[in-house]
Amino acid sequence: MTHHSLDLKVLPKDFLWGVATAAYQIEGATWANGRGCSIWDTYCRTPGKVYEAHNGDVACDHYHRWEEDLDLMKELGIDSYRFSVAWPRIFPRGCGEVEPRGLDFYDRLVDGILRRGLVPMCTLYHWDLPQELEDRGGWPERDVADHFADYAETVLRRLGDRLPLIVTFNEPYCICFNGYYNGSQAPGRKNLRLTHHAAHTLNRAHVLAMDRIRAYAPGAKAGIVMNTTLALPATDRPEDRVAAELLMDWEDRLFLDPLFRGRYPESLYRHVPESMPEIREGDLDPVRGEPDFFGLNYYFPSYVVADPTRPIPLRLVDAPAGPRTAMGWCIVPSGLTELLLRLRDEYAIETFYITENGSAWNDVLEDGAVHDEERQKFLVDHLGAVIEAVKQGVDVRGYYAWSVYDNFEWTFGFAKRFGLYYTDYPTQRRIPKDSARLYKRIVEEHRTENLSQRC
Ligand code: GCO
């Protein structure tokens, strides 16, 4: 097991150590108890979209194994569990009739989380849009924001008194750009105007959902989760620096500026005016939509050069030579520190959670063990980056490892393993990797540090 020299006493005494999952990636039971079809059920059945046509029909069978999974999290010694609610379980058609058995499942799950002394962090949307709403236009359609707000209210009327931490959306960038621009994820469409209209619907939906959260979960802290790009110029050329800032307008400020400033980046109107959406009074409201915390998902930075031949004059280039995870992603822990500092300074964000951070490796199960040295190093190095940010005054309240166990990695299916536990899919056994033992030890050491400080 990896040794570490993390300065854990830097972290707040009430720092939340957690793990994160998402409904479609772990639950399975996609046709159980009235659940409706989602865009990911459809996408998985579209030839050529997902590795070996894998799908979430069974996944980690969490829908039936949730109690043992919560016991496993308790055994891991963590404080908090970040999960998502599947909209199609609550509104099988996206709106209209509610499926009470869907609410019943999450009612049991939340009570189970609380009964084990864990803090639930509930994500209302982690990519599984009901297919019928997509059939009616999907996120580019303005009224999906109203349906989302009604869905949020329905969930919170049932669970709101027991959810201390609530997230409206997971990764608006992926929802909009992978879903409607580059077509790499469900629903797999490719249209810039639809992308920007989807972004506006989602920005508006966040504001509407925050109204409902304040009304039906008044005791909760609410926020949003973004995989904000750390865009780095690939060279010191001034034009590449400009391109890097433009990438952040394009990918990130499209969501950050509406959230914190109530407007879109001016550069988008300069470069792609024809794709920008109609904005109505009250759509973007930095007062109503202001989050209590910002959830940051961090995996790797992006490297950018200027490219005047393109509508948005930039191009992503490969990261400098160096270690890569099994996803082919570069590994730059210091980027997490830099990104936290930049977000705090640019938007005066007072409270962060690292809502996802983790790595995929070609894990080998031998003699019932997985000696995942690289994942352990990734974990320690990125926790070190969080500690460095805290030393520089950033208020980070928690860290959620992605993920507790291997699960459905979207278009990569079950081929990529991010878990602290190894999921043996044929038997559905969860087998602790060395990284799980390391995470458990780090959590225990932080608690011990706190106790010693109290004495
Ligand atoms: C994301 C999603 C997760 C992924 C994880 C690994 O950030 O893309 O929130 O569902 O599985 O990040 O790619």
Q: Which of 48, 72, 42, 161 is nearest to 111 (CA)?
A: 161
Categorize the per-residue pLDDT at 4 as very low, low, confident or very high, splitting at 50, 70 and 90.
confident
Q: Which atom of ligand 1 is nearest to the CA of 227?
A: 7
The tokens of 341 are what?
Answer: 């500092």
The answer for residues whose C-beta is within 8 angstroms of residue 179's C-beta and 6 or more apart is 39, 138, 139, 185, 186, 187, 188, 189, 198
Q: In what order do the strands lie in the sheet containing 231-233? A: 231-233, 302-306, 314-317
Q: Whose CA is nearest to atom 4 of ligand 1?
A: 409
- How far away, in angstroms, is 409 Cα from ligand 1 center? 7
Categorize the per-residue pLDDT at 303 as very low, low, confident or very high, splitting at 50, 70 and 90.
very high
Q: What is the pLDDT of residue 449?
A: 86
Tell me how many degrees the CA angle 114-61-21 measures, rounded to the nearest 5.
55
Domain spanning 8-454: CATH 3.30.200.100: no
The answer for residues whose C-beta is within 8 angstroms of residue 347's C-beta and 6 or more apart is 256, 260, 294
- How far away, in angstroms, is 252 Cα from ligand 1 center? 17
Summarize pLDDT for 45-67 with one digit per residue, the tens. 999 999 999 999 999 999 999 99
- How far away, in angstroms, is 326 Cα from ligand 1 center? 14
Rounded Cα distance, 80 and 73, in Å: 9
Summarize pLDDT for 412-426 with one digit per residue, the tens. 999 999 999 999 999
- How far away, in angstroms, is 22 Cα from ligand 1 center? 9
Categorize the per-residue pLDDT at 1 as very low, low, confident or very high, splitting at 50, 70 and 90.
low
Q: Which atom of ligand 1 is nearest to the CA of 407?
A: 11
- How far away, in angstroms, is 120 Cα from ligand 1 center? 19
> Average pLDDT of 255-263?
98
| Cβ pair 279, 198 in contact under 8 A | no
Pocket test for ligand 1, best of 127, 173, 226, 410 (most atoms within 8 A of CB): 410
Pocket test for ligand 1, best of 50, 297, 406 (most atoms within 8 A of CB): 297
Does position 455 have pLDDT exceeding 70, yes or no?
A: no
> Average pLDDT of 176-190?
98
Q: Which of 152, 166, 147, 150 is nearest to 83 (CA)?
A: 166
Tokens 């950050």 locate to: 256
Q: What is the pLDDT of residue 452?
A: 72
Burial class (CB in 10 A: 0-12, 13-18, 19+), 375: buried
Q: Whose CA is nearest to atom 5 of ligand 1?
A: 402
- Residue 399, CA distances (Å) to 8, 118, 242, 357 in order: 13, 14, 32, 8
| Active site annotation includes 445 | no
Q: Which atom of ligand 1 is nearest to the CA of 410?
A: 11
Q: What is the pLDDT of residue 287?
A: 97
Residues with CB under 6 Å of ligand 1 are 22, 25, 170-171, 174, 227, 297, 356, 402, 409, 418
How is 264-300 classified by DSSP, letter by letter? --HHHHHH-GGGPPP--TTSS-TTTT--SEEEEE-S-
Rounded Cα distance, 401 and 78, in Å: 10
Calculate what percentage of the chain has a pLDDT beyond 90: 97
| Cβ pair 425, 57 in contact under 8 A | no
DSSP state at residue 330? B
Average pLDDT score over the chain: 97
At how many degrees (to 10) do helices 254-261 and 192-216 cross? 40
Q: What is the pLDDT of residue 14?
A: 97
Q: Which atom of ligand 1 is nearest to the CA of 225?
A: 9
| Cβ pair 407, 59 in contact under 8 A | yes
DSSP state at residue 276? P
Rounded Cα distance, 376 and 385, in Å: 14
- The CA-based dihedral angle spanning residues 116, 80, 14, 390, taken in that order and rounded to the nearest 10 degrees: 160
Pocket test for ligand 1, best of 402, 414, 417, 418 (most atoms within 8 A of CB): 402
The tokens of 435 are what?
Answer: 């990284």
- Residue 46, CA distances (Å) to 40, 50, 106, 125 in order: 10, 8, 29, 22
Q: Which of 444, 436, 438, 439 is nearest to 417 (CA)?
A: 436
Catalytic residue (choose from 356, 374, 388, 409): 356
Pocket test for ligand 1, best of 19, 40, 171 (most atoms within 8 A of CB): 171
> Average pLDDT of 7-33?
98
- The CA-based dihedral angle spanning residues 26, 30, 32, 35, taken in that order and rounded to the nearest 10 degrees: 110
Q: What is the pLDDT of residue 380?
A: 98
Query: Which strand (E) or helix (H) includes residue 148?
Result: helix 144-159
- How far away, in angstroms, is 316 Cα from ligand 1 center? 20
Query: What does DSSP say about strands 429-432 and 421-424: parallel, antiparallel, or unpaired?
Result: antiparallel
Rounded Cα distance, 160 and 389, in Å: 32
| Active site annotation includes 171 | yes
Report which residue type is found at 388: E
- How far away, in angstroms, is 282 Cα from ligand 1 center? 31
Does position 344 have pLDDT exceeding 70, yes or no?
A: yes
* Number of neighbours of residue 228 by Cβ within 10 angstroms: 23
